[in-house]
Amino acid sequence: MSTAEHSQHPLGAYDTDQLVGRSQELAKVYSYLDSSDPTPVVLFVQGPGGIGKSRFLRELVKKAGEQENRIVAQDLIDLYHVIHHTTDGLMQAVYQALPDMNEALARYEREWNHYQRMVLSGNLRQIGEQHERVRQAFVAGLKEATQRKRLLLVLDTAERAVYTADPTSSGRAPLDYEIAESWRWLVEILPELENLLLLVAGREQAMALEKLLSRKREGIRVDTLELSRLSEEESLAYFRAMADTARRRGDEDTAERIEGLDEPLLRRVHRYANGLPILLALVIDLLNVGSPGEIPENLVSDESDEARDHLPAELESRLIERIRYLTPEGDTIDALGRAPKGVDTQLLARLRGISEDEARRELKEVKKFTFVKVRPSDNRVFLHDVMYEILGRQLFTGPQDAPASDKANKAIIGYYDDKLGRIQEQMQRTVRSVLETGEGGIDLTELARLTVERQTLLAEILYYRLRQDPGQGFHQYYRYMREAILSGQVLLDLLLQTELVSFWAEQDPAGQCEALGGFPRDLLRSVLAIRPVTRAWAEGRYEDAVESVDRIQSKQPELFQGNGARVGTRAIFDAWKAYSHIYLGSKDDLKTAQALLDAAVEDLENVLHSDSKGLDAAHEWRTKAVLGFVLRVRGYLYRVQGDLERAVKDYRKAVRLWRDVNVRIEQARTLNDLGFALAELGQWEDGRALVRDALAMQEEMGLYSLAGLSINTLAHIAIREGEYASAADRARRALALFRALGFERGAGLALTALAEANRRRSVQSATWSPERKIRYLREARDWAQEAVEIFRREKEKLREVEALIEVGCACRDWLHLRLKNRNPVDNPDHLLRQARRSLERAAEEASSAYRYRQIDALVNLAWLYYYAERDDDLQEAIRKAEEAIPPAYVLYGDGASEATTQPSDPAGLETSQPLIWLQQGKLQVLKGVIHFDNFQRQRKAGDNENEQAVEELQKSARFFTLGFEYDRRSGQQHQGLRQAKETVYARWKKLDPEYLQHVAQAVIEVENELGLDKSAMREFLEGRALWYGDD
């Protein structure tokens, strides 16, 4: 047969305009549709591939919708598409298929739109709560709509929702990841949906869904409808319908060819095809090659059983032969077969190397065939699943296909990379104004749409990556999965999981392979088993996350037993459990988290550093990724406890690991946290550079809530540098972004930073009028109070404590100004009460788990009483602060703390917490200020040789010296102590040399007592030309 002869005929039979046969099957469905019994019915429509299930269902939907007393979905919901394996995707598909129910589902639509916007916020707890409201609104809407009318919904290709050979065959309950999440949810809500008729169509494997449903069938009627093969008479009618359809579409040649086949031949074709519509269509296609009536004798001359058994393979071979020779349709079918996620004009143009106009025409041509499907939502073109199987078996295998496969893979990945880049550019334009200036607004509906589109693209990229290189595909899954969890994108997480398990179900349907191309099965089981834990964490359900870890470790002990690769599995479960305990925040929670993380780090490092670690490349990669996560979480634990040096050490190790395994979302998160910790230690330049790197990565990935956190981190760094105007600008930008996205927790963090920046700016600005300073302090107080309310709702104790401290400090500084500049508008007693109440509450809330913040609150409370001139309260506050400071943070002889001679204190705190050293320094400076005030009063009361005045001056000098020394121990140049140095300089520069000699004498005594060669105070006084100790 010549190429010309092949090319002049269409490939494949037309899809018929009318359904042939199936009268009995239709009657059974209508018996349920017309029934007055409101019990929900699930009818499984079962049959092999190519039997005509989809055609039958489309006709059913078309006819059933003609009755007014029914609500009928306008389209099938095809489980071939993995988006429908998720609850979110299924709800949206049902909503879109039921336009007549818009009123009943109006609340669902509102809740869904709100949920989509909330996902942008990254507010994990609120996302989880809103997600549940969406589901409740959906069920309520369906219940309302079906009170008086029967509702017909249809799921097609249901076997795709089952990810193992038969998860029910052993008699056990299927694991969560063996059945689509949307089906498991349906099973739970079906008893509530009266008057529902749900048709579930699929191959034999789909009957596992029926078994799962039967276990919970109380309140549900379950039945099965098996589609039989066409009878001989129905097959003849099918051929006539093909001819009629071709004629109606203007293809007289094809119509005449079909009509030219005599009846005895057609009856033999029926027997060979055994009444299977897809085979009937392919046979008719082959019979139409050449002149009318030409018959390929080898297909119909032998009616033996053996010949019939070989018919499918023969037909497949002939079909592939035609695809190879027929252009352009054959080339288009080849391209469609290589892109099972669907083809649009842009992708076909890449695959074929043609223009988009040509691609558009070719797609239009192939849409008329029975084995071609079009998805209405995006007009992408797919093949019938049987055609994908045929092409996979006959054409896309063996080394001879490698060049074409590689070319197609490059075209597909290039297409997705370009599309992903365009979406991210659109997302960036949507948020640019707010992100860069803190002004303008964000079209949240558009940003939500782009986010969902990006999520779908990532899942489809994963589909192709897994099939190109399973090992690298697993790496890609891990990267995308971490992004989904850390940004609260539950839908993306579910899509990725579905692609992962679908890949294994497709490649290893019997479940016998231990690995697929560098992707071991035990890694699959591990990452799937932990999904309930990570989702609970992503939705802010930390107690549930802890319980899930315990439950899984109890029910699936085989995942965790042993060494080598199993160490990584144990460690990742323990790390998520520890992470949840940290967020729960009690003293016992933090202690538990510390123990879990320490053990995990030790085990993981032992495995990775062992000469006989016994890890293949995949397990070693994953073990590094797990260690990176464990170190990041432990770094966070150290940071919230104030142990910044250890936090920095863990963060630096984690960053190196994240670079090694190339998990950018985790790298960005860790860089941000490391930058903040370094800034707290006074390393502002390094901290700022790292946070800027994190910010660039997050913007590139379109993770704007995380980007806002990095902008806010930059605000904190600017505060520590003393750049308060710049800090306020960054905090305002972060706040504007968080509010636009609806990220309440982020707004609380930005409000706290903005409050601190304003407060410190008011204190620093010597040229401002008192009223202007008070205006800034009033704003700081209000912002901090708003943050308190946010963190109270979020149940985040540490952040609430920090905001309370800001409220107290703003009111304290306001009181200080007002006492010096009286105004009847402001009531000093009210300011004192509010400041005291906030700081006392902060100290109480922090006492159980956050010692350094408790000390912070108590030291600020002491300063409050100093400004308010409440001497009795002042001394009591100093006493409480000193009692709260562990003995390890008190300097003794030779510059050592008590920790060098005594065991660690009961709380387990050690001298590596610079924030406690810092607070100790602030407390000593306060004591120095008190004694300097006493010195001034004594000097005024007596002569210049007043011994009591000299004694007070020397005490002041001792405490100032200790304060500066504690500050040096903290490793920081804290803004409060920078201000203290200026206070000391302003006071001491006016002293006579004789007094400065007394000051130097006191400084030398402290140096001798602590065994210091040169104290920070001596360096300071030498720098300011006030050192008189060498005279």
pLDDT digits (tens, 9 = 90+) for 600-638: 999 999 999 886 667 889 999 999 999 999 999 999 999
What does each C-alpha distance from 731 to 237, 437, 760, 875 come to in angstroms? Answer: 73, 11, 14, 36
Average pLDDT over residues 14-21: 69
pLDDT digits (tens, 9 = 90+) for 816-863: 998 888 776 778 999 999 999 999 999 999 998 889 999 999 999 999
Out of 27-36, 132-141, 619-628, 683-692, least confident range: 27-36
Question: What local confidence, expressed as pLDDT, does residue 168 receive?
Answer: 45
pLDDT digits (tens, 9 = 90+) for 281-323: 777 766 665 433 344 555 555 556 665 666 667 767 776 777 6
With cut-offs at 50, 70 and 90, classify the pLDDT of residue 175.
low
- Residue 154 backbone dihedrals phi, psi, to 5 degrees: -135, 125
pLDDT digits (tens, 9 = 90+) for 388-441: 888 888 888 888 889 999 999 999 999 999 999 999 999 999 998 888 888 878
SS3 track for 236-258: HHHHHHHHHHHHHCCCHHHHHHH
Residue 701 pLDDT > 50, yes or no? yes
Find out whether 228 and 277 touch, Cβ atoms under 8 Å.
no
What span, in angstroms and rounded, lies between the C-alpha atoms of 531 and 485?
10
Question: What local confidence, expressed as pLDDT, does residue 909 receive?
Answer: 42
pLDDT digits (tens, 9 = 90+) for 952-980: 999 999 999 999 998 888 766 666 667 77
- Give me the amino acid identity at 303: E
With cut-offs at 50, 70 and 90, classify the pLDDT of residue 723.
very high
For helices 993-1010 and 947-970, angle between their N-to-C axes, nearest 10 degrees: 50
pLDDT digits (tens, 9 = 90+) for 229-283: 888 888 888 888 888 888 887 878 878 878 887 888 888 778 777 777 877 777 7
Q: Answer positive or negative: Cα dihedral of 765, 769, 774, 776.
A: negative
Pull the structure tokens for residue 24: 């009995």
Helix (H) / strand (E) element for 222: namely: strand 221-226
What span, in angstroms and rounded, lies between the C-alpha atoms of 871 and 504?
74
Q: Which of 604, 598, 683 is nearest to 635 (CA)?
A: 598
Average pLDDT over residues 1001-1007: 94
- Give the best-scoring range by mean pLDDT among 382-391, 866-875, 965-974: 866-875
Average pLDDT over residues 542-556: 93
Out of 179-193, 426-440, 940-954, least confident range: 940-954
What span, in angstroms and rounded, lies between the C-alpha atoms of 15 and 277?
11
pLDDT digits (tens, 9 = 90+) for 551-584: 999 988 888 887 777 899 999 999 999 999 999 9
Question: What local confidence, expressed as pLDDT, does residue 1018 receive?
Answer: 93
Question: What local confidence, expressed as pLDDT, does residue 311 receive?
Answer: 64
Find out whether 194 and 38 touch, Cβ atoms under 8 Å.
yes
What's the number of CA atoms in the CB half-sphere (13 Å) around residue 228? 11
What span, in angstroms and rounded, lies between the C-alpha atoms of 697 and 725?
26
What span, in angstroms and rounded, lies between the C-alpha atoms of 966 and 1016?
9
Residue 24, Cβ density class (10 Å: 0-12 exposed, 13-18 middle, ≥19 buried):
exposed
Question: What local confidence, expressed as pLDDT, does residue 399 receive?
Answer: 86
Which residues have C-beta within 8 Å of that of residue 885, sequence separation ≥ 6?
855, 916, 919, 920, 923
Report the predicted TM-score, pTM, of the whole model to 2 decimal places.
0.84
Find out whether 266 and 288 touch, Cβ atoms under 8 Å.
no
Range list of H helices, 438-541: 444-468, 470-486, 490-507, 521-529, 531-538
Beta strands in 725-864 (DSSP E): none
Residue 7 pLDDT > 80, yes or no? no
What does each C-alpha distance from 158 to 84, 97, 375 come to in angstroms? Answer: 10, 17, 17
Q: How far apart are the first and last CA of the chain?
A: 114
User: Beta strand 70-72 with 77-78: parallel, antiparallel or unpaired?
Assistant: unpaired
196 forms beta bridges with 151
Average pLDDT over residues 700-727: 94
Q: Which of 350, 475, 456 is nearest to 413 (CA)?
A: 350
What's the number of CA atoms in the CB half-sphere (13 Å) around residue 89? 27
Find out whether 12 and 285 touch, Cβ atoms under 8 Å.
yes
Residue 33 pLDDT > 90, yes or no? no
CB burial of 634-647 (b: ≥16 within 10 Å; e: otherwise) equals: bbbbbbbbbbbebb
Question: What local confidence, expressed as pLDDT, does residue 4 receive?
Answer: 35
SS3 track for 852-911: HHHHHHHHHHHHHHHHCCCHHHHHHHHHHHHHHCCHHHCECHHHCEHHHCCCCCCCCCCC
What span, in angstroms and rounded, lies between the C-alpha atoms of 916 and 925?
14
SS3 track for 341-393: CCECHHHHHHHHCCCHHHHHHHHHHHCCECCEEEECCCCEEEECHHHHHHHHH
R_g over Cα of the chain: 37
41 forms beta bridges with 197, 221
With cut-offs at 50, 70 and 90, classify the pLDDT of residue 767.
confident
- Give the best-scoring range by mean pLDDT among 120-124, 140-144, 241-245: 140-144
Helix (H) / strand (E) element for 151: namely: strand 150-156
What span, in angstroms and rounded, lies between the C-alpha atoms of 156 and 160?
9
With cut-offs at 50, 70 and 90, classify the pLDDT of residue 11.
very low
User: Beta strand 380-383 with 372-375: parallel, antiparallel or unpaired?
Assistant: antiparallel
159, 164, 166, 169 alpha-carbon torsion, rounded to 10°: -160
Q: Which of 72, 113, 71 is nearest to 92 (CA)?
A: 113
What does each C-alpha distance from 228 to 52, 117, 225, 869 come to in angstroms? Answer: 10, 47, 9, 94
Domains identified in the chain and CATH numbers: 3-13+232-399 (no CATH), 23-226 (3.40.50.300), 400-508 (no CATH), 743-884 (1.25.40.10), 887-1031 (no CATH)
With cut-offs at 50, 70 and 90, classify the pLDDT of residue 1.
very low
- Give me the amino acid identity at 402: A
What span, in angstroms and rounded, lies between the C-alpha atoms of 766 and 983?
13
Q: Which of 658, 737, 647, 734 is nearest to 683 (CA)?
A: 647
- Give the best-scoring range by mean pLDDT among 290-294, 326-330, 457-461: 457-461
Residue-averaged pLDDT of the chain:
86
Q: Which of 345, 289, 292 is nearest to 322 (CA)?
A: 289
Question: What local confidence, expressed as pLDDT, does residue 302 receive?
Answer: 56
Average pLDDT over residues 670-689: 93
pLDDT digits (tens, 9 = 90+) for 483-542: 998 888 888 998 999 999 889 888 888 778 889 988 998 899 898 899 889 988 888 889
Range list of H helices, 971-1023: 975-988, 993-1010, 1016-1023
Residue 687 pLDDT > 80, yes or no? yes
Q: What percent of the chain has pLDDT over 70?
A: 90
